[in-house]
């Protein structure tokens, strides 16, 4: 619900301008030419400044209210970063994104436990890994070109949903990174719970981009019908059937 | 030791004649995204493997189902198991139950770490529900993590 509320004023813009790259961090900005790198670094600094007040919120209600206020600006900054990167070669973008995920994952892994606890570190690693997979699928999706005309509306809807979910997850993952690296006093528990719930949207980002990819591949015919089974196939199949009966016999014998 | 023969690739309908009419005893055409009841006896499991009669979400590619095998993920009723890491929440609104389904309404948690290969003989005949594409791909995100698919 909170996501829907925050997205209401920007949803239309998002659907028309899906970013090529999400989740870029400072070291990756350096792969850009000087002018672009300066823009991206400034945007990243601004983005961190924008998120800082969220971490000092006294309770979930205040966090939600502050998030609603800053979300539009966060989206705009993300588009600035994404658009700056879209001028570079695809390979460079892919490497930058991959390294950004690696870097943040490393930070959370090595420094996260004291401030957010082991369980939340695991959850964050899962969300980062899932968002990374989603961004890889975006590259694959781009390489396959436009969706078939019949699916254009569905494709646009998925694209808007993906962008919204990915930005939402990214905002909360950025919050976690700031909690781990910059927050001296830590954050309230219910605020942390809300941040973790937001980061979880990475799962939906994966789902939407995967559906988008499916629209482009469902026409392909592959493995529709396997050929005749050879001796090895039959043996493997036989084993998978007999596993249960053998384990049952073994257990019966033990009993 | 008795080993069952390899099944043919023809439609997997097994029927038994009792005193009543002919009854199909397992699923006939499971598809990715379908939910079936599956009973795994406790004696077939060790350690933390799941057992008992549970709804399973079919996640395998339909292209392998001619082998009479499917790959499924158990759905837990215990939503307090949390929508965390590779435990993926499937909302009630993403579950379209079939007519006559015995599946209780409500949210479910897909336990993706418990993914397993199932002979279709293990699936009870009546499909219980169909899960939306959005939820199936969300479960796939959990599976990708569990299996460390890059």
pLDDT reported for residue A63: 95
pLDDT for the residue B28:
76
pLDDT for position B149: 85
Facing A244 at nearest CB: one of B44, B67, B84: B44
> Per the domain annotation, does B68 fall within a domain?
yes
Residue of B64, B119, B140 with shortest CB distance to A241: B119
Domain that holds residue B87: 34-147
Positive or negative: CA dihedral A62, A63, A66, A69: negative
CA atoms within 13 A on the CB side of A131: 34
Burial class (CB in 10 A: 0-12, 13-18, 19+), B67: buried
Express each pLDDT in A128-137 by its tens digit: 999 999 988 9
B16 touches chain A (CB under 8 A): no
**CA atoms of B150 and B144, how far apart (whole Å):** 8
B13-28 pLDDT per residue, tens: 333 334 444 445 566 7
Q: Is residue B119 part of a domain?
A: yes
State the count of interchain CB pairs (< 8 A) between A and B: 88
Residue B137 to residue A210, Cβ atoms within 8 A: yes
Domain count of the fold of chain B:
1
Low-confidence ranges of chain A (pLDDT < 70): 1-23, 30-31, 219-229, 237-255
Would you state the pLDDT for residue A246? Answer: 52
User: Mean pLDDT across the stretch B83-90?
Assistant: 87
Q: Which chain A residues touch B44 with a CB distance below 8 Å?
A: 244, 247-248
Alpha carbon distance A81, A96 (integer Å): 12
What would the mean pLDDT of B61-88 be, rounded to a whole number?
Answer: 86
Residue A172 to residue A157: CA distance in whole angstroms: 23
pLDDT reported for residue B8: 39
Residue B27, domain member (yes or no)? no
H helix or E strand, kind and range, residue A39: helix A34-55
In this complex, do B6 and A234 lie within 8 Å of one another by their Cβ atoms?
yes
- Report the residue from B44, B84, B119 with minimal CB separation from A248: B44
pLDDT in tens, B111-143: 999 999 998 888 999 999 999 999 999 999 999
Residues with Cβ within 8 Å of residue A180, at least 6 apart in sequence:
A107, A108, A111, A112, A115, A116
Give the pLDDT of residue B7: 40
Predicted local distance difference test score (pLDDT) of residue A51: 94
Residues 87-126 of B with CB under 8 A from A: 88, 117, 119
d(CA B148, CA B112): 12
Region for residue A23 given its phi and psi (left: phi exceeds 0; alpha: psi -120 to 50; beta: otherwise): left
Domain assignment present for B26: no
Closest-CA residue of A relative to B83 is A200
Domain at B93, CATH number: 2.30.30.110
**CA torsion A54→A59→A62→A68, rounded to 10°?**
60
If residue B73 lies in a helix (H) or strand (E), which one and from where to where? Answer: strand B69-76
B35 closest CA partner among B96, B81, B118: B96
Q: Does B15 map to a domain?
A: no
């Amino acid at each position: 619900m909170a996501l829907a509320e925050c997205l209401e004023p920007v949803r239309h813009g998002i659907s028309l301008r899906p970013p090529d790259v999400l989740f870029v961090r400072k070291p990756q900005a350096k792969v850009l030419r000087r002018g672009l790198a300066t823009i991206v670094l400034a945007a990243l600094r601004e983005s961190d400044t924008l998120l800082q007040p969220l971490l000092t919120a006294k309770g979930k209600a205040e966090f939600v209210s502050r998030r609603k206020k800053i979300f539009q600006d966060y989206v705009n900054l993300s588009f600035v970063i994404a658009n700056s990167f879209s001028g570079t070669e695809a390979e460079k973008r892919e490497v930058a994104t991959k390294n950004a995920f690696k870097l943040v994952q490393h930070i959370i892994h090595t420094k996260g436990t004291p401030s957010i606890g082991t369980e939340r570190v695991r959850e964050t690693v899962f969300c980062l890994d899932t968002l990374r997979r989603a961004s890889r699928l975006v590259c694959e999706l781009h390489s396959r070109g436009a969706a078939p005309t019949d699916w254009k509306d569905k494709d646009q809807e998925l694209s808007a949903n993906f962008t919204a979910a990915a930005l939402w997850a990214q905002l909360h993952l950025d919050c976690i990174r700031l909690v781990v690296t910059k927050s001296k006093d830590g954050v309230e528990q219910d605020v942390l719970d809300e941040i973790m719930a937001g980061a979880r949207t990475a799962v939906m980002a994966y789902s939407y981009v995967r559906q988008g990819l499916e629209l482009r591949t469902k026409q392909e015919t592959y493995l529709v019908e396997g050929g005749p089974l050879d001796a090895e196939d039959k043996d493997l199949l036989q084993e998978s059937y007999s596993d249960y009966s053998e384990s049952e016999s073994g257990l019966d014998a033990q009993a | 030791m008795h080993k069952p023969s390899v099944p043919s690739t023809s439609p997997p309908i097994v029927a038994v004649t009792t005193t009543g009419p002919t009854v199909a005893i397992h699923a006939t055409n499971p598809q990715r995204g379908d939910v079936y009841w599956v009973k795994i006896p406790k004696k077939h499991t060790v350690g933390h493997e799941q057992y008992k009669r549970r709804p399973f979400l079919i996640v395998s590619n339909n292209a392998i189902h001619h082998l009479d095998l499917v790959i499924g993920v158990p759905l837990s009723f215990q939503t307090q198991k949390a929508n965390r890491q590779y435990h993926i929440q499937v909302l009630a609104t993403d579950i379209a139950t079939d007519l006559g389904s015995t599946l209780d309404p409500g949210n479910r948690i897909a336990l993706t770490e418990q993914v397993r290969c199932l002979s279709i003989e293990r699936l009870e005949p009546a499909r219980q529900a169909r899960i939306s594409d959005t939820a199936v791909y969300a479960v796939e995100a959990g599976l990708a993590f569990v299996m460390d698919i890059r």
